[in-house]
Amino acid sequence: MNVLLEKWDTPFGLPPVAEIRDEDFGPAFDEALARARANILAIAEGPAVDLAGVIEALELAEGDLDRVSGVFYNLAGADSSEAREALMRELAPKMSAFSSEVTNNKALFAKIEALWQGREGLGLTAEQLRVLDLYRRMFVRSGAALEGAAAERLTAVKARLAVLGTQFSQNLLADERAWSMDLPEADLAALPGFVQDAARAAGNEKGTGPVVTLNRSLIVPFLQFSPNRSLREKAYEAWVARGANGGETDNRAIAAEILALRHERAQLLGYADFAAFKLEPEMAKTPDAVRDLLMRVWEPARAKALADEGILEGMLRADGFAGPLEPWDWRYYSEKRRKAEHDLDEAALKPYLSLDAMLGAMFDCSTRLFGLEFREIAGPFYHPDVRGWEVTRKGEHVAVFLGDYFARGSKRSGAWCSAMRSQRKLGGEQRPIVVNVCNFAKGDPCLLSYDDARTLFHEFGHALHQMLSDVTYGFISGTSVARDFVELPSQLYEHWLEVPAVLEAHARHHATGAPMPADMLKRLLDAGTYDQGFATVEFVASAIVDLEFHTGSPPADPMQKQAEVLEGLGMPRAIRMRHATPHFAHVFSGDGYSAGYYSYRWSEVMDADAFAAFEEAGDAFDPETAGRLERFILSAGGSEEAEALYLKFRGKMPGVEALLKGRGLLDAA
């Protein structure tokens, strides 16, 4: 027997990681796929023509495959290896072929269509009707209505896209692993202690002396604090060159092929371009609506960034450099300016923001808002760095939450939330196993920047969306919502980090236990909108490039298209895109955020307004408002259209002004 396919007699049904070997995954996937195929064939060819026999049977048909996938893909992203990467490459076309096989099954689609056409006589609940609608939509958008050569071509296109997305992400990880820069003693000594510790820890992992790597939690503070301009340039250029270094790991041709295939996919399905196809089920609906939002944010952000650029260039010249200000200079001089204007020194701030302290703050907020309690549990988990908690409410089990917080060579960059198991009630109550993954620089203790702490809260907002889910069908569970709605819970949860009482209670010095001094806390919160011109410009530029890539005909040369779009925007020369094309994993490692990177800003319009509901109630932990938030947003999953859910919570839709105010850009608008 393969342990991945057996019933797991483990606490909370956690994967028995100590018993799972890499060589178990391939056979487990083969068997799980075979079982899923048999189950789906039985549904398609069977006599059932009701919701239970078709839709509900489909919900449960891939149970073994879901379980094996839940373990493997979490491992592949957070603790990769050559064997796991090889299997990912092998699985990409297999999984795509299986998906196409299901949606191309004409008998199955005919049953779903018959249910949809006769829906008014079925006596369905609102949730059942929603799930039926979404299944039909998924089949149609996957090409179920296509015939002959068009159907065959779409299957081939989707299979090739799956292969290319895997290759893109593995190339990026390879480039990130391969590069490091030794730090001579004099340059190491010029850095704050926490950066020195992170550089030593990174070197220990590589078996060398102190190094700078391409991990964001190390390279960003290096760029902030290193006075050696030539080393900053070297590190920065390596960071932005990921995926564009030539050779086998170069992603530029892959990006071009992905864009061309996406355009073909959209046209096969009857859409003008991929953006029109992708945005149809989202809140935004159209590329024009997205472009309008982004440009309304772009103009004031650019104006603020250009004003800031002039100030920073003056500081550069005062240091004896002729200028102009370069991208590898911005963070260094911005940090100096922040210290001068706000008397805020990140090196002095970080001892109050240890990972353990911020975890305590994060959990405490969810206890006060939703009554959740957290009890740390023992592993083993999939890596020694992973920690786990049982989540309960009034003594009842809610979820298992896993936190994997430290950077390592086997982990892809960035931060994300995933579920090894999602919530559902169909077939028996299934409670979720939710994973937050970050890439903080490891230390003893691990000290976070304020931006790191915000990332911690952000990903936990996604986790709450999964853990508090309360729906019957896994298809609409947790974060299974419109892409431009999925970031609302995560970005909203960041706001509780800004509540003074939260930091007063939890921001304590890791060595002495002393609370953060009141004047430091005030300066930290007063600086909340500092450098938002830069942060907004680098993000919105990436979102606009993503949108233009997928609108109209695909570019033969994405790098040229990127340059043209940025030139048309008047991109400040000292700021680069947050994610240049060759390492834009959100957009090219899969379809998740393709033509959808804007969704962070779309959700931000709502999250600023949603937190205002608590402010209007006079209490950041107002029980009635928290109850509405849980009922209509966090527990509802995709049970209704996103706009309907938000209107039930708030009573109105917000304007872009809330976003601009939250970023301190309203005066520049």
If you write DSSP's letter for every residue of 334-362 in order, what string do you get? HHHHHHHHH---HHHHGGG-BHHHHHHHH
- Contact status, residue 116 vs residue 133, Cβ threshold 8 Å: yes
The alpha carbon of residue 362 and the mean position of all alpha carbons in its chain are separated, in whole angstroms, by 18
Which of 59, 459, 538, 604 is catalytic? The answer is 459
Structure tokens at 115: 């249910």
Catalytic residue status for 376: no
CATH fold for the domain made of 3-103+105-142 = Glutathione S-transferase Yfyf (Class Pi); Chain A, domain 2 (1.20.1050)
For residue 28, give the amino acid letter.
A
CATH number belonging to domain 248-344+531-597: 1.10.1370.10
pLDDT mean over 119-143? 97
Does 7 score more than 70 pLDDT? yes
Nearest to 407 by CA among 220, 597, 188, 167: 220
Class of domain 351-514: mainly alpha
Does 128 score more than 70 pLDDT? yes
Question: Residue 523 and residue 344: Cα distance in Å, rounded?
Answer: 7
Q: What is the pLDDT of residue 443?
A: 87
Question: Residue 534 and residue 523: Cα distance in Å, rounded?
Answer: 20
Question: Residue 662 and residue 297: Cα distance in Å, rounded?
Answer: 12
pLDDT mean over 302-307? 97
Backbone angles phi, psi at 439, to 5 degrees: -135, 55
Backbone angles phi, psi at 194, to 5 degrees: -70, -30
pLDDT mean over 310-334? 97
- Contact status, residue 266 vs residue 169, Cβ threshold 8 Å: no
Residue 662's pLDDT band (boundaries 50, 70, 90)? Answer: confident
pLDDT mean over 644-669? 89
Topology alike, domains 248-344+531-597 and 351-514: yes
Q: What is the pLDDT of residue 668?
A: 61
Count of beta carbons in the 10 Å neighbourhood of residue 283: 23
Backbone angles phi, psi at 403, to 5 degrees: -120, 120
pLDDT digits (tens, 9 = 90+) for 618-638: 999 999 999 999 999 999 999
| All structural domains of the chain with their residue ranges | 3-103+105-142, 180-227, 248-344+531-597, 351-514
Query: In terms of DSSP bridges, do strands 396-406 and 416-421 run parallel, antiparallel, or are they unpaired?
Result: unpaired
pLDDT mean over 520-532? 93
Q: Sheet containing 416-421: which strands, arranged edge to edge? A: 373-377, 387-393, 396-406, 433-440, 416-421
Look-up of token digits 């800003």: 601
Look-up of token digits 């956690």: 14
pLDDT digits (tens, 9 = 90+) for 140-185: 999 999 999 999 999 999 999 999 999 999 999 999 999 999 999 9
The CB-side HSE value for 66 (13 A sphere, CA atoms) comes to 18
pLDDT mean over 449-475? 97
Give burial (CB, 10 Å; 0-12/13-18/19+) of 38.
exposed
